[in-house]
Structure 1
Amino acid sequence: MTHWIASSNRDNWKILEKKHVWGVPKRNRTLMQRVKPGDTILVYVRQEKEGDTILPSAITGAYEVVSEPYEDHSRLFVSPPRMGDEVFPFRMKVRPVTVFTELLEFKPLIPDLTFIKNKSMWTGHIRVAMREIPEEDYQLILKRAGVEA
């Protein structure tokens, strides 16, 4: 089993919550060939502005991959303006393992996450759609969220 951190915006996280589907952009086709049923995904949402409020980057919960990756070009997800007409066609079905009652703010985790090598330039480590993370980081995040793994 592999653990992943999946980068999203809040709109697409809400779609994942409702539809139990995760998708990645066309450019990530080869990445999806590495994802297998039984893998787990921690969903990371980027910092966003909502009115005058800054919503911090955070982890929303853990999900288990329950299908082989598949291709579907129907419009399901919200494409950020910088990504044009992206439909995130490489998808997989997921089931919630644990959805955090309160989102776990990401920045306080950075000093203790081993997959983030450059602590001052940490955003580059999660800029991709999905990134494999070690077991110890997965366990640390669940523990900080108050969840038993």
Structure 2
Amino acid sequence: MGDGTAMDDEKRGFKEDDNHQGSMGGASLPTHSSPRPCPPKWTPPTGGTIARSGLAVLARNHRREILDIMLDWGHLDSVLEAEFKAILLAIRLILERGWGQAVIQSDCKLAIDALNTREHPPDWLVNGVFTDIVSLTSAISFLSFDFAPRSCNLAADAFV
């Protein structure tokens, strides 16, 4: 899942001189891209094993301080659905805290690309959550959706 509004550039491997751009609602912020999309479906555990799906949002400021952590548990039908629900959770946290500027980072390039183009969701099964995300973004003065490789997303993943 994404680190939500995390702005931990060092953890993400970003440097001020990165020229990769991705933004929504104004100025551009650093982003990385990769040809690796997230898998379309979740794989169930082997017999006799329990799997628990979870979402985590880790919010950090420019000084790498953790500002907030938000967790959610529930039924998820696909990895893509989990990524979009984590992004929606991050947006709700941003709105709840009144943060006017935020970067949402996710290790799912498919989700990030869809949100940056706003054309349509990559799978009709996530249309509802995709539409919720797009409609809520207008309430935030600056919001950027950036791809972060899975290796840079371990902090949020550790919570679920």
TM-score band, normalised by shorter chain: under 0.3
- Alignment TM-score, normalising by the size of structure 2: 0.25
Greater share of residues in strand: 1
RCO greater where, 1 or 2, for CA within 8 Å and sep 6 or more?
2
The structure carrying a bigger helix percent of its residues is: 2
